Amino acid sequence: MERLLSESVAPSSVDIELMADFIADIQKPSGEIPWSKGGRTDPWDHVESAMGLATAGRLNEAKKAYFWLQETQLADGSWWSATREGIPEDKTRDTNLASYIAVGVYHYYLLTADICFVRGLWKTIERGINYAVGLQAKSGEIAWAKNSDGVIDRMALLTGSSSVYMSLKCAIVIASLLGKRHPDWERALKRLGHAIRCRPSLFNMMKSRYSMDWYYPVLCGAIQKDDARSRIDKFWEKFVVPGWGVKCVSDSPWVTTAEGAELVITLAAIGEMERAAIVFNWLSDKKYDDGSYWMGVTFPDGVIWPEEKTSWTAAAVILASDALYKITPAADLFCHRFWDQHNKIAPELITPEGCAERK
């Protein structure tokens, strides 16, 4: 760790405008943003791509992306997990995918202070959050989805539940901005935070091979301060490959750009700016000339895989750049201090409590 932190940290050359051009070129006239041209669309990555566009100043394109979600939301508040050319490819209805629009819309508000836009999407946000909260267990974790027949799969995923935690935080703030309150969301947030911090056995442990299970509980703010830093340090060598980036899966010689970018955002969120800059620099040369970034690359042989150029990978790099270099008013969306200092949510809802037991 000491050797890593002694490396020189030079600002990376990032062409945000070119990356935004790449995403906008994939976006359809309807506002939909597939993974790639002719590729599938899922609601979470669609939101991330919209956030990338908004960060780059492409506000009209971002608004169209959110309006597309408004138009395609299902009656129960969810979305299909994947569609292609308007046809459902995966009719699973994922709680994480249903709720993430709240993060995107709050991000847009931080950029623009456009309360009319937020108000216009309120019902869509409310239905999506209600869908996720409706699948919360008494012990706090969020069931990951309903299948195509509407049957609830009670398995809980740590990454997905952490993302729902962030979505709940943003939804509660949006409600407050609109003069509304959802006490049920507040209770859900508190219970979910406790489950993430103190009851790891509630979540599918097979997913602990994935780096997202490592950093997402910190990224979302469920784990904070010394506990957050300890968690990052504990598994650093398991997932981080100096000079290359962040493994997607711990037992595979493959680093992925999106996971690296999200780790940058996570490190910035807890004030680890030097480490964030180092990781970001590792990503800076893993790109094509058109503004897109490699999805992943094997090491040490350096084979780019897969070769698909995805909108959400470029968006993740844009968001990481903003978190690191503080380019826009939304740069601190995931920053723990931002949430503390601005009293966005009642402190008792997001301040970690001690765990009487860790099962």
Give pLDDT tens digits for 16-43.
999 999 999 999 999 999 999 999 999 9
The per-residue pLDDT for range 253-309, each reduced to its tens digit, is 999 999 999 999 999 999 999 999 999 999 999 999 998 999 999 999 999 999 999
Give pLDDT, residue 1.
34
The beta-carbon contacts of 230-238 under 8 Å, at least 24 apart in sequence, are 232/266, 232/267, 232/270, 232/272, 233/1, 236/1, 238/214
Burial class (CB in 10 A: 0-12, 13-18, 19+), 352: middle
Give pLDDT, residue 291.
87
| Domain annotation covers residue 87 | yes
Tell me what percent of the residues of the chain surpass a pLDDT of 70.
95
| Domain annotation covers residue 38 | yes
CB 256 within 8 A of CB 295: yes
Kindly report the pTM of this predicted structure: 0.95
Q: How many helices (H) and strands (E) does the chain have?
A: 18, 9
- For 249, the token pair is 């899966």
Question: Among 55-64, 166-175, 226-235, 343-352, where is mean pLDDT lowest?
Answer: 343-352
Task: Provide the residue range defining the domain that includes 187.
Answer: 2-350
Q: Looking at residues 319-339, what average pLDDT do you find?
A: 97
On average, the pLDDT of the chain sits at 94
Q: What is the DSSP secondary structure assignment for residue 320, as one 8-state letter?
A: H
| Domain annotation covers residue 214 | yes
Phi then psi dihedrals of residue 210, to 5 deg: -90, 135
Model confidence band, residue 357 (pLDDT cutoffs 50, 70, 90): very low
- For 80, the token pair is 């299909």
Q: What is the DSSP secondary structure assignment for residue 356, as one 8-state letter?
A: S
Q: Looking at residues 217-233, what average pLDDT do you find?
A: 98
The per-residue pLDDT for range 122-148, each reduced to its tens digit, is 999 999 999 999 999 999 999 999 999
| Domain annotation covers residue 85 | yes
| 344 has a pLDDT exceeding 90 | no
| Domain annotation covers residue 358 | no
Give pLDDT, residue 11.
52
| Domain annotation covers residue 355 | no
Segment (H or E) for 143: strand 143-146
CB 216 within 8 A of CB 200: no
Look at strands 93-94 and 254-256 and give their pairing: unpaired
| Domain annotation covers residue 279 | yes
Q: Looking at residues 75-91, what average pLDDT do you find?
A: 97
Domain containing 240 — which CATH number?
1.50.10.10
Q: Of how many residues is the chain composed?
A: 359
| 10 has a pLDDT exceeding 60 | no
CA–CA distance, 143 with 204 (Å, rounded to integer): 11
CA–CA distance, 132 with 138 (Å, rounded to integer): 13
| Domain annotation covers residue 357 | no
Give the chain's domain count.
Answer: 1
Give pLDDT, residue 356.
63
- For 256, the token pair is 């992925």
Tell me what percent of the residues of the chain surpass a pLDDT of 90.
89
Give pLDDT, residue 7.
42
CA–CA distance, 203 with 164 (Å, rounded to integer): 14
CB 220 within 8 A of CB 163: yes
| 176 has a pLDDT exceeding 80 | yes
